[in-house]
Amino acid sequence: MTAPAIELKAINKRFGPVWANRDIDLKVMPGTVHGIVGENGAGKSTLMSILYGFYTADTGEILVNGQNLDIRNSQQAIQAGIGMVHQHFMLVEPFTVLENVMLGMEGQAVLANARGKARKALQDIASRYGLEVDPDAIVGELPVGLQQRVEILKALYRGAKILILDEPTSVLTPQETGQLFEILESLRSQGVTVLLITHKLKEIMAITNHVSIMRAGTMVAHRETAHTSPEELAELMVGRKVLLRVDKQPAQPGEQRMEIKNLDYSDDRGVRRLKDINFNLRSGEILGVAGVSGNGQSELLKMLSGALAPNQGVMVLDTRAGHSELSAGSWRDAAEIRDLGIAHVPENRLRQALVKAFSAAENAILGYHDKPEYGETFLEPEKVVNATEVMMEAYDVRPRLPGLKTANFSGGNQQKLVLAREMLKEPDILLIGQPTRGVDIGAIEFIHRNMIAARDKGAAVLLVSVELDEILSLSDRIIVMNDGAITGEVMASETNEAELGLLMTSTAGEVPTAGNGPTGGAKAPQSEQQEEAVA
Amino acid sequence: MEMFDQIFSLLGASIRLATPLMFAAMAGIFSERSGIVDIGLEGKMLISAFASACAAYETGSPWLGLLAGILVSVMFALMHGYASITQRGDQTISGLAVNFLASGLTVVLGHAWYGQGGLTPSVHDERFKSIILPGAEWLGENVPVVGPFYEQVISGHNILVYLAFVSVAAAYWVLFRTRFGLRLRATGEEPNAVDSAGISVAWVRYRAMIVTGVLCGCAGTYLSIAQNAAFQREMTAGRGYIALAAVIFGKWHPKGALGACLLFGFLQSLETRLQSVQLPLVGELPSQVFSAIPYIITVVLLAGFIGKAIAPKNVGVPYVKER
Amino acid sequence: MSPILAESPRWVRIGLVPALQLALALVISSLVVLIIGEDPVQAFAIMIRGATNLEFGGFHSTLYYTTNFIFTGLAVALAFHAGLFNIGGEGQAYVAGLGIAIVCLLFDSTLSVWLMAPLVILASAAFGAIWGVIPGYLQAKRGSHIVVTTIMFNFIAMALMSYALVVHISPLGGNSTDSRYWNSDAVFPKWNEMMPDAPFSLLNPTLILALVCCWLVWLLVWRTRLGYAIRTVGSNPHAATYAGINASRTIIITMAISGALAGMMAVNEVYGAQGRLILNFTSGFGFMGIAVALMGRNHPFGVVLASLLFGALYQGGTELQFEISSINPQMVLVIQGLVVFFTGALDRLVRGPVEGAFLRYQLAKAKKAEAADAAVAGGN
């Protein structure tokens, strides 16, 4: 029997009081694709960083091809034949592909000859694994899928026989994902061992031979992919039966609050991020926006909340502030939109919704700091603190210390503070993005209950989430986004994960048919979109 | 003929004035390309000007003076490096601290040692002297235009002037033709990429700081014992900042920075020559206009009104490993 | 673990740590004194006496320097709150001197001090604001880095001022590089002119203006909507966009106020102390504001304390040269550099271990208390 390509024995790693990895064992057989799944924060990335020498384990052993190794930095990992493709690419954007690949493996102090050698070696690798990239292209000008390819080339150029991919598809379009999987197939057939870290079960099922499941810093199970199911994996990941339906009454949608017409947006680089978005939102309903992250949902939220202005389109609002129509030329900023009765819980709370250095009380008025209730000429601390105490009480924010620095609250409590700030104002329209990202289980249920309660009180809720479970269990109606466009609209009660998955990978206007399997469905639009990109 | 004479002597003076800028600008390019903002070029020039003047006076050798200037400048560069790299401190603040320290120490030590209000004793034989290139005199007298050009613009500078041009070529070669240069540029743009390639970001940056120190040492030495014959209080007079402006104006590229330094040197030489000279159309220009121009055009350039200067992506950002 | 324990006590953060950093700077300055061959203890004793004595006006002079540093320190501190590093205090103060000179040259023979003073203050603030707002505008709207722009503006100010003085102002009377003296009826009286018993010093009523500015800055930063916006933009620009705060506008306004604060330093020098416009009258006071703001941790009260400290060092340094002739007063620049280094660039060097030690101590104490609680509970 051959030795495992990688064997980890009793790996432990602590960051202060937090066990990031606890007694981890793992065996990865050579020439296979081995998946590692787990929720965000389960310890997958830490484990891989230990394997790649970014961190050193507190205790435990690492065996590569049967040899016990002490990997203390990435150089040693590279020497041991391990390569890593990080979630955030580690590429020097103004450099060419060739220069990026050479970096750290130049061979000689003077580059003149090294370049020629590297070029040849790169071409050999590219043709062997089917990874064609122009070696003289500037990396920063390449599309994301090709940049990832450069990362893989870098690893292979360094002689990697074991390749770690950390959430490789999170930034990819479905067609790029398809291409990536083809590459992984080809690598596997050439004897390369692939470790695929992901939290997407579909990918595990599609490509891996084996899968290991992590939860809260521990390794909970190992399975052969052929002998497991997404349901079993999901249960292992979460540690209990997945809560598929939140307790709620059917929605009773009232009058229309918001209507979006022909919204279009291109970013600074001219990439069209939103393509002709149309939908409406009524009081008393939750409209879910589903999609792989990075398909325009973030831009949509920013636009509706006033953080960004569209190039084209109209937003019609009917709120307590009356009837208003915003068009691309007369868009409003976040403060003005808030005044129209719209509240916004953004996707990334530490980046957008909170100022880490502020006290809880100071954050409790962010966006509402101009309101006279917090003081007339000057801001009055007592009023701010009183308001904060009310919020903390209502949303059970712990500890109840308005003066405590926000950075010292846990993620769940920070999120509750944001929700309290936005929802206690009883907005007519609530925009909410990734409400439970990085939040503990107890807080998730609390947050979900409050969203339903807001709906039942007549709020119009727009929920953006990449977690399909969350979308399915909370929404009344669902729109699906892919590549900046809405690819479909369904009633939550009449759909399922499979249908949504299909919509998430189809192009706008195309009607997915039941006969299309996930792979068939993903491939057909691929060529279509590529042509579009070329044109 | 006289017009040529005037132009050539102007050009010769421009080159001499551009020399410290060239050294310092190359120093700035190495530092900033590696990702470290260096406001402290001025201070390193100043302290090395002082050190080399003292050493040259005490030892009687300009070369030992140069060595001392370089050593002290490297020490200051490493201090800045320690704050910026190891302690991940604010690089602008650290650079300012270097400038304050240099400006204080030179006066305090100079005053204590030589008692001339911060002036060092002047050196005569212990300084870098002009080199007359072979045939300069003969060509100047016998060949029209080209001869005087050779005599006045190319020949007749001290060794450090020629070294400054060598340093520009060397900077270009090192940055774009060697492994060290590739890694250094990558460090300023994307230190993560460098780290994940198994290269120490800190070590690359420290080496860049040493190069910066050496080059600033040359710049300072030039000021005190090549261009002048003693150290004077605050003798850098903002040249470190002009060099920084040249780095920006030259878009962090040795060739561009060379052009900017020559231009700024030319403006400086004009400043002295155009005093009370009536110019066509504008009349007499106040000399202050010339001293302000390098700063004004840098501001205009940075504001993107003429072209755009884009700094290395990660300049000024301490490197912390991603978790 | 209680989350409150994640932070060391306030007095450690804003008291002990800066004090240790200052001590470190002073120890290294002492080494410089030793290198010169003098006794640092004696030197510091002379400095302290020189800065605090009342009979020869030492303390008064300390306060006079303090006034300058409060203005420039506030300017840097306020900009820091908006995440901006305003190195241009020197130039802003310098140009503000021009504003004062214009007002004085025009009106000093006709207006009394009661009318002149407000005009002069306004003019200095306005000229300083203009010199601050341009870099602010360029940062906010054109994306040019404020550090570089303000440095360049310092030098442009030097050229501008030397042009204004040499070509236009000095011909109206005065030496080649100075203006004429302002009419003594139109300028601030000095402390010793108001108090006949007081020894001579350059101390003048501008100190009161400085203290008022401290209070106003405190009010602005922590009690107004604008201050809230400034701090939000400074610590998280994304959150500012989310909150509907216009970051560009906030940056521009902040730089205008910061420039105005720095500019008012000229009131102390040009209007109060010197009574005329002198070439290079700012002589590094603007840069000193950086050390003051860092040492005072960007809080107006801290700025006052740090200004007092640096005012004393400045005055003490001036006295020093009379007693120990081998020590140049520029020694204060060495100390300034070291303070900037240790409180700014090397902040972590002292802060890390000291705060860490306190955290461990708190943690151990909490654990002990917990254990004791558990023991009591177990006993029951």
Interval A107-117: pLDDT, tens: 888 888 888 88
Q: What percent of chain A has pLDDT over 70?
A: 90
Taking the CA of residue A46 and the nearest CA in chain B, the distance in Å comes to: 8
Tell me whether residues C241 and A405 touch, CB distance under 8 A.
Answer: no
**Residue A535 confidence (pLDDT) above 60:** no
pLDDT of A241 reads 44
Report field, pTM of the whole predicted structure over 0.80: yes
The answer to which of B117-131, C126-140, C275-289 has the lowest mean pLDDT is: B117-131
Q: Which residues in chain B have Cβ-Cβ distances shorter than 8 Å to C83? A: none
Closest CA to A309 of A353, A368, A267, A345: A267
Q: Which residues in chain B have Cβ-Cβ distances shorter than 8 Å to C162? A: 288
Cα–Cα distance for residue pair C125/C216, rounded to 1 Å: 14
**Residue B227 confidence (pLDDT) above 50:** yes
Tell me whether residues B198 and A104 touch, CB distance under 8 A.
Answer: yes
Cα–Cα distance for residue pair C86/C95, rounded to 1 Å: 15
Cα–Cα distance for residue pair C82/B25, rounded to 1 Å: 31
Instruction: Give the domain-ending residue among C285, C308, C331.
Output: C308
Q: Which residues in chain A have Cβ-Cβ distances shorter than 8 Å to C246? A: 333
Residues C169 and C214 in one domain: yes
Taking the domains of chain B in order of start, what are their residue ranges?
11-302
Residues C32 and C101 in one domain: no
Nearest CA in chain A to B186: A92
Query: Is residue C139 in a domain?
Result: yes
Query: From the candidates A74, A82, A90, which should be mutated to test the interface with B, based on the most B CB atoms within 10 A?
Result: A90
Closest CA to B44 of B100, B115, B2, B90: B100
> Is the minimum CB–CB distance between A94 and chain B shorter than 8 Å?
yes
Q: Which residues in chain C have Cβ-Cβ distances shorter than 8 Å to A370? A: 225
Q: Across the beta sheet with A82-85, what order do the strands follow?
A: A82-85, A162-166, A193-198, A33-37, A210-215, A218-224
Residues C162 and C96 in one domain: yes
Nearest CA in chain C to B98: C337
User: pLDDT of A125-184, one tens digit each?
Assistant: 988 888 889 999 999 888 888 999 999 999 999 889 999 998 888 777 667 888 899 999
pLDDT of C369 reads 82
Q: What percent of chain C has pLDDT over 90?
A: 68
Cα–Cα distance for residue pair C104/A273, rounded to 1 Å: 59
Phi, psi (deg, nearest 5) at residue A283: -70, 145
Scan residues 214-273 of C and list those with Cβ closer than 8 Å to B: none
Q: Which residues in chain B have Cβ-Cβ distances shorter than 8 Å to A84? A: 196
Please compute the mean of the pLDDT values over residues A225-247 and round it to a whole number. 71
* Strand extents, DSSP E, chain B: 278-279, 283-284
The mean predicted confidence, pLDDT, of chain A is 85
Residues C260 and C367 in one domain: no
**Closest partner residue to C338 among B89, B101, B102, by Cβ?**
B101
Tell me whether residues B179 and A75 touch, CB distance under 8 A.
Answer: no
Tell me whether residues C244 and A351 touch, CB distance under 8 A.
Answer: no
Q: Which residues in chain A have Cβ-Cβ distances shorter than 8 Å to C7? A: 405, 408
Please compute the mean of the pLDDT values over residues C222-228 and round it to a whole number. 95
**Residue A208 confidence (pLDDT) above 60:** yes
Please compute the mean of the pLDDT values over residues A227-236 and round it to a whole number. 80
Instruction: Give the domain-ending residue among C257, C291, C308.
Output: C308
pLDDT of A523 reads 33
Residue C156 lies in domain: 61-308
Task: Determine which helix (DSSP H) or strand (DSSP E) holds A10, and give its type and residue range.
Answer: strand A6-15
Q: What percent of chain C has pLDDT over 70?
A: 97
User: pLDDT of A472-531, one tens digit each?
Assistant: 889 999 999 887 899 889 998 888 877 777 787 666 555 444 333 333 333 333 333 333
CATH of domain A246-341+427-535: 3.40.50.300
Query: From the candidates C39, C148, C336, which should be mutated to test the interface with B, based on the most B CB atoms within 10 A?
Result: C148
B212 and B262 in contact (C-beta within 8 Å)?
no
Query: Is residue C257 in a domain?
Result: yes
Cα–Cα distance for residue pair B1/B115, rounded to 1 Å: 48
A342 and A402 in contact (C-beta within 8 Å)?
no
A159 and A189 in contact (C-beta within 8 Å)?
no
Scan residues 70-89 of C and list those with Cβ closer than 8 Å to B: 85, 87
User: pLDDT of A365-380, one tens digit each?
Assistant: 999 999 999 998 899 9
ipTM value: 0.91
Instruction: Give the domain-ending residue among C308, C338, C371.
Output: C308
CA A84 to each of CA A36, A51, A97, A133, A349: distance values in angstroms, whole numbers, following the listed order: 14, 10, 17, 19, 29
Cα–Cα distance for residue pair A261/A280, rounded to 1 Å: 9
Nearest CA in chain B to C142: B303
Taking the CA of residue C205 and the nearest CA in chain B, the distance in Å comes to: 30
Q: Which residues in chain C have Cβ-Cβ distances shorter than 8 Å to B303? A: 138, 142, 144, 149
Taking the CA of residue A269 and the nearest CA in chain B, the distance in Å comes to: 16
Instruction: Kindly state the tokens that stand for A159.
Output: 């002689």
**Residue C153 confidence (pLDDT) above 90:** yes
Confidence of residue A239 (pLDDT cuts 50, 70, 90): low
Closest CA to A405 of B301, C4, C205, B200: C4
Confidence of residue C339 (pLDDT cuts 50, 70, 90): very high
Tell me whether residues B194 and A103 touch, CB distance under 8 A.
Answer: yes
Q: Which residues in chain A have Cβ-Cβ distances shorter than 8 Å to B177? A: 110-112
Scan residues 306-345 of C and list those with Cβ closer than 8 Å to B: 326-328, 330-338, 340-341, 344-345
Taking the CA of residue C241 and the nearest CA in chain A, the distance in Å comes to: 6
Report whether CATH 3.40.50.300 matches the domain A6-238: yes
The mean predicted confidence, pLDDT, of chain C is 91
Q: Please, which residues have CB within 8 angstroms of residue C239's CB and are 6 or more apart in sequence?
A: A351, A352, A353, A354, A355, A366, C232
Please compute the mean of the pLDDT values over residues C227-246 and round it to a whole number. 94
Protein fold of B11-302:
ABC transporter involved in vitamin B12 uptake, BtuC (1.10.3470)
Q: How many domains does chain C have?
A: 2
Tell me whether residues B185 and A54 touch, CB distance under 8 A.
Answer: no
Which pairing describes strands A272-282 and A256-266: parallel, antiparallel, or unpaired? antiparallel
User: pLDDT of C85-113, one tens digit each?
Assistant: 999 999 999 999 999 999 999 998 898 88
Tell me whether residues A352 and C239 touch, CB distance under 8 A.
Answer: yes
B78 Cα distance to chain centroid: 18
Q: Is B110 exposed, middle or buried (0-12, 13-18, 19+ CB in 10 A)?
A: buried
Residues C206 and C151 in one domain: yes
Taking the domains of chain A in order of start, what are their residue ranges?
6-238, 246-341+427-535, 351-424
Q: Which chains touch B (3 or more CB pairs under 8 A)?
A: A, C
Q: Please, which residues have CB within 8 angstroms of residue A99's CB and are 6 or more apart in sequence?
A: A92, B182, B186
**Closest partner residue to B303 among C35, C142, C330, by Cβ?**
C142
**Closest partner residue to B198 among A78, A88, A102, by Cβ?**
A78
Tell me whether residues C331 and B108 touch, CB distance under 8 A.
Answer: yes
Q: Which residues in chain C have Cβ-Cβ distances shorter than 8 Å to B311? A: 145
**Residue B29 confidence (pLDDT) above 90:** yes
Query: Is residue C324 in a domain?
Result: no
**Closest partner residue to C340 among B93, B102, B107, by Cβ?**
B93
Matching CATH topology for A6-238 and A246-341+427-535? yes
Taking the CA of residue C236 and the nearest CA in chain A, the distance in Å comes to: 6
Residues C67 and C32 in one domain: no
Q: ∠ CA C95-C101-C105 to the nearest 5 degrees?
A: 155
**Closest partner residue to A110 among B178, B199, B322, by Cβ?**
B178
> Is the minimum CB–CB distance between A99 and chain B shorter than 8 Å?
yes
Higher local confidence (pLDDT), A236 or A364: A364
**Residue A396 confidence (pLDDT) above 90:** no
Confidence of residue A55 (pLDDT cuts 50, 70, 90): confident
Nearest CA in chain A to B310: A94
DSSP-H helix ranges across A439-480 = 441-456, 468-474
pLDDT of A314 reads 93
Nearest CA in chain B to A75: B198
Taking the CA of residue B189 and the nearest CA in chain A, the distance in Å comes to: 6
Please compute the mean of the pLDDT values over residues B138-145 and round it to a whole number. 84
**Half-sphere exposure in the Cβ direction for A79 (13 Å, CA):** 12
Size of interface A-B (CB pairs under 8 A): 74
Instruction: Kindly state the tokens that stand for C123.
Output: 């003019």
Nearest CA in chain A to C234: A355
Nearest CA in chain A to B198: A75
pLDDT of A171 reads 72
Tell me whether residues C330 and B108 touch, CB distance under 8 A.
Answer: yes
Cα–Cα distance for residue pair A500/A492, rounded to 1 Å: 10
Which pairing describes strands B283-284 and B278-279: parallel, antiparallel, or unpaired? antiparallel
Phi, psi (deg, nearest 5) at residue A172: -100, 150
Tell me whether residues C144 and B302 touch, CB distance under 8 A.
Answer: yes
| DSSP 8-state assignment for residue A352 | I
Answer left, alpha or beta for residue B88, where phi above 0 means left and psi between -120 and 50 means alpha. Answer: left
Cα–Cα distance for residue pair C66/C62, rounded to 1 Å: 6
